[in-house]
Amino acid sequence: MSSMAHAFGKLDFEDLNWETRKYKKWQAYGDSKIANLYFTYELQKKLGNGTSGVTVAAAHPGWTATELQRHTP
């Protein structure tokens, strides 16, 4: 699962767990979403780009019909 928040993701491979820099929750969220996409791309490559019969997909759920955003205007 990813999100459009991947657009502001900027992974710091020297500090993936935000141990040495000031933690910023929205930046960390964006980082996690871009990391999900990187993982998806790499998994697809390792599975042979479609030759394995396994489909690898990433999704942005958007405003789905759930109660998740019930308090969002």
Check 23, 29, 38, 41 and give the catalytic one: 29
Three-state DSSP class for 71? Answer: coil
Tokens 């599975």, located at residue: 47
Phi then psi for 24, rounded to 5 degrees?
-125, 110
- Catalytic: 29? yes
The rounded Cα 67 to chain-centroid distance in angstroms is 21
Question: Residues with catalytic annotation?
Answer: 29
